[in-house]
Amino acid sequence: MNAFRGIGPFEVPAVGLGCMNLSHAYGTPPAPEDAAKLLLAALDAGVTLFDTAALYGFGANEELVGRVLGPYREQIVLASKCGMTGVDGRRVIDGRPETIRRTADEALARLGTDVIDLYYLHRLDGSVPVEESVGALAGLVAAGKVRAIGLSEVSAATLRRAHAVHPVAALQNEYSLWTRNPERGTLAATRELGTALVAFSPVGRGFLTGAPPALADLPPGDIRHAMPRFTDAHYPANLALRAELADLAAGAGLTVAQLALAWVLSRGEHVIAIPGTRSVDHLREDVAVLGLDVPADLLAAAGRILSDETVHGSRYAEATLPEIDTERCGAAG
């Protein structure tokens, strides 16, 4: 496995850090000092790609990342996102050029930097042509406020339209053993265009870890409550599949998370994974996959156990799916 991979003008370890759950989406965030400890542990473990967004904690995550990693700014590749923010306590998708420009200036202030290395359009705004949103991002590059641009949760067709306006350095889509949507178009399109495919939730929102969450233990406000895969109707069947995967991993001396990450990274030399965690031990476990040589037949077996054909339940609720531009695949939504 190539431990370093390109993303726009940068070269980064193939495992970065998704920072969302330090401020957002999974119940009560950790204490600021614990979140800071996790970020610094990632830096110490060799992580250089740190991924945040204006949405996460409605700005709190950008402030956290900027405050903690500011002294190490030249050592990291700093990624953030616009186009989906918190407005009056609600999540709002807004890809208008004027909103993108304003959000970028707010992000620069929160991050305590004069340039963002990689700036994504977090979601496609169905009321705004992607060419207009990407044109605003291109303007930020021309102004020296952004070094490279990306898109998140879009299809291969949308990626191509955007790339015709300005080179897209990275496409961030959910990709894991149980979420295969990129295989319906964007995995090949990113390879063809020289765009990095950045896989978020590569360990299945905690499902593909050493201790998958018990539904009864999910805290109030945890986004998994609204995801069909994490409901009584589907979760037991998915846990049975995970038990098979765990046996496969244990037989090879791997953790489930390591097998899951190795599988994602095996999908192409242009694929980068950004797992998120609040545990320093889990962080080190994730990064350790870069030093492992996992046989191809083991990866293939893992891909047969969990796939879009075997997983139970869609990844998002029906009400959310219209916001997502990615290709759909069976139960994976």
> CB-side exposure of 161: number of CA atoms within 13 Å?
12
Tell me: domain 4-327, CATH 3.20.20.100, correct? Answer: yes
| Phi, psi (deg, nearest 5) at residue 240 | -65, -40
Check the CA dihedral 314-316-322-324 and report its sign.
negative
From 26, 56, 119, 120, active-site residue: 56
Residue 330 confidence (pLDDT):
60
> CB-side exposure of 220: number of CA atoms within 13 Å?
0
Residue 56 annotated to the active site: yes
pLDDT along the chain (333 residues), means of 10: 94 98 95 98 98 97 98 98 94 97 98 98 98 98 98 98 98 98 98 98 96 93 95 97 98 98 98 98 98 98 97 92 85 49
Any bridge partners for residue 18, and if so which?
51
Residue 12 confidence (pLDDT):
98
Are 229 and 330 contacting, i.e. CB atoms less than 8 angstroms apart? no
Residue 208 confidence (pLDDT):
98
Closest CA to 162 of 183, 193, 191: 193
Cα separation, 271 vs 106, whole angstroms: 30
Q: List the domain boundaries for the chain.
A: 4-327
Are 32 and 41 contacting, i.e. CB atoms less than 8 angstroms apart? no
CA angle 158-122-23, nearest 5°? 160
Q: Which pair of structure tokens corresponds to residue 37?
A: 């400890």
Whole-Å CA distances, 79 to 45, 56, 66:
18, 13, 11
Strand, coil or helix: what is 159? Answer: helix
Question: DSSP state, 49?
Answer: E
